[in-house]
Amino acid sequence: MILDEKELKKLIEKYDKRADNALQLYQETGAKRHYTANYTSQNMADALRVALQAKEDHEDLQNMKLELSNFASRGAAATSQLRPESERAELAAILAKELADYGKRNGLI
């Protein structure tokens, strides 16, 4: 089962509420079961946060892989011996500018 970002956030909120309610009951009653419910609900919310972050990281890495593939193919075109020297220089200059822009946009430089 694959959950989208919206569903994960909704589940995180649900388990945070459960943990808060259980903590409140524990503080009122001192019953260990409420402490355990708070602990397990908070752990579930934390695990869902980790899953959400992993999903976002995975999407970021996929996008980087696509950009790198694009840059690599354009780099191959810019170094191809089948193209005239002037065209290769122009392609290389455009690619260098776009690589620098990509680095700035993503906080790499």
Residue 57 backbone zone (phi > 0: left; psi -120 to 50: alpha; other: beta) = alpha
Global pTM? 0.70
Give the type of residue at 51: A
State the Cα–Cα distance between residues 29 and 40, nearest whole angstrom. Answer: 18
Give the type of residue at 4: D
pLDDT tens digits, one per residue of 48-72? 999 999 999 999 999 999 999 999 9
Report the pLDDT value the prediction gives residue 3, as an integer from 0 to 100.
84
